[in-house]
Structure 1
Amino acid sequence: MQNRTVQTDLVVPVKALPDAKSRLRGVVRPEEHAELVLAVLVDTVTAAAEADGVRRVLVVSSDPAVASVLAAEGFECVPEGRSRGLNEALRHGAALLRQSDRAGQIGALQADLPALRSTDLAEAVKTADGRRAFCADRQTTGTTLLLSAAGGPLDPRFGVGSARAHAASGAIALTESWPSLRCDVDTAEDLAVARDLGLGRRSAELLCAMAACPIDC
C-alpha cells in the first residue's frame, strides 16, 4: 500500500542558456535556440507541477532569463550554489527543499521532457512509494527521474551511464512504460519522438511558428 503521508518535492536543474542542450543547436536557427530550451523547460515544469503526489517544483538556475520566464509563469527558481555542475545544482536544490520537510521525498527531474504527461510522473511517484528509485530514459542509459527515500538524501549521480550509477547506489529501477517520462530531448530524433507523443503547448506552438520547423507540425 502506498505511503500517502509522504510528500514529494522536485528539483529541476537548468544550465545557463548559452550552454544548455548543445546538441539541439543544429535543429533550430541560432537565435531560436534559447527560446526552444525555455519552451521545453516550461512545458516540463508545468506538467510536473500538475502531477498528483508532487507538492513543490523548484528550478535551480543562475541564468536570469530562465528565472524571469519562470517567475512570469508562477514557478520557483533559485540560483545555483557556490559549486557548479549538474549534481551540485541538484544537491543545492535538495538541501533547500529538505529545510522545509525533513521526512519528505525529494526528486530530481530533468528539464528536457517537453512531452511529459502529469499522469506518467504521478504513476512513477506512486510506484516508488517513498523508496529511493529512478526512471531511466528511453535509451535505458540515462536517468530522467531520481527519487530519494522518504527523509533520505537525494545522492544524484547524473552523467554518462547514470542509470547504472543510480542502480549501483541502491535505487530501485522503475520499469513501467511511462513513455513521456522517459523521453528526454537531446537531438532532432528525440524531438521527433516527443512530437509523436504530443508536445506540451509552449513547445508545440514555438516549433510550429518557426520559419523552418525541424519536425512536421
Structure 2
Amino acid sequence: MDGMSGVRGGSGGDGTGWSLVVPLKPLEVAKSRLAAAGTVRPALALAFVLDTVGAALACAEVEDVTVVTDDPAAGAELAGLGAFVVADSPAAGLNAALRHGEATVRARRPHAPVAALNGDLPALRPAELAEVLRAAAGACERAFLADAAGTGTTLLCTVPCLPLAPGFGGASRARHLASGAAEITLPAAPSVRQDVDTLEDLAAALALGVGPFTAVAAAALTARGA
C-alpha cells in the first residue's frame, strides 16, 4: 500500500488529542501463535485490529489513528473506519514500523502526543483507553501500560518533545522500564491490557466483551470446533 489513506484526522494538527500508531503484519503471517485457529486465523487477526482501531477512534482523548501495514485488504478496511494507513516501508520488524508511524504522525502533527497501541485488543473500551491516556499525559514523559500477563506492553506513550523509542516484543515491560519510561499502574483498565496471542487470551477477551468484528470471527472459530 503506497502513500496514506484515511478519512479522519482533518484537523491538520490543530487538535490537542493523542495520535495513536497501530502496527499490523500482513494477515497471512499475523498472529502465528493462534495457529490452532487454522484457516480462521487471518480473519481473527483482521477482526482484532478492526475492533481495536474502531474503539480507539471512538475514544474522546484520541485525535487520530495511523496504522502501519503492508496488507492492502486490511488497510482498505481500516481506512474505511477512519484510520490513516501507511505502508511499512522499513519492513524491518515491529519497532521499526512503530518508529516509521511516529515519524509520519510528527510530519502531520508535530506538537501532538503520540502513543503506540497494540492492534490485538478486541475488548478495548474507549472510556478505559481515555483513562489510561489521561494518566499518561499526567506523567509528562514517556509512559507505558503492561499487558494482562505483566510481562509485555500494550501501550507506549510520549509527549511531543520526546521520541517514542519503542521496545516492543517479548518481555517489553522490563525493556520499557529500563529505558526510563514510567509504568502506568492506575487505572486498572483490563480492556487496554488484554491483548490476544493465544486461544486462552481470546477466551479472556471474550469474557471481557469483544467488539463486533471479533464476535463474528470468534463465532466462526467456535463453529469449526477449535
Matches within 5 A, 1:66-105: 66-105=74-113
Give CA deviations for 1:160-214 in whole Å, capped at 9, x if unaligned: 2111111111111001210000000000110000000001111112222442254
Matched, 1:212 2:224: yes
Matched, 1:127 2:135: yes
Tell me which residue corresponds to 2:198: 187
Give CA deviations for 1:10-52 in whole Å, capped at 9, x if unaligned: 00000111211001120x232x221111111100000011111
Match of residue 23, structure 1, among 13, 33, 39: 33
- Scaled by the length of structure 1, the TM-score of the pair is 0.91
User: Which letter maps to 1:14?
Assistant: L
CA distance in 2, matches of 1:82, 1:192: 34
Give CA deviations for 1:126-172 in whole Å, capped at 9, x if unaligned: 01124310000011110000001233211101122111111111111
Identity %: 45
Give CA deviations for 1:32-84 in whole Å, capped at 9, x if unaligned: 22111111110000001111111010000011121122233332211012342
What SS class does the counterpart of residue 91 from structure 1 fall into? helix
Bigger mean CA offset, 88-97 vs 61-70: 61-70
CA distance in 2, matches of 1:83, 1:190: 27
Aligned length: 208
Is this contact kept in 2: 1:24–1:188, CA < 8 A? Answer: yes
- In structure 2, stretches of 5+ residues that fail to align are 1-14
User: Which letter maps to 2:97?
Assistant: A
Q: CA RMSD in A?
A: 1.5
Tell me which residue corresponds to 2:182: 172
CA distance in 2, matches of 1:96, 1:132: 19
- Scaled by the length of structure 2, the TM-score of the pair is 0.87
1:18 and 1:209, CA in 2 relative to 1: closer, same or farther beyond 3 A? closer
- In structure 1, stretches of 5+ residues that fail to align are none
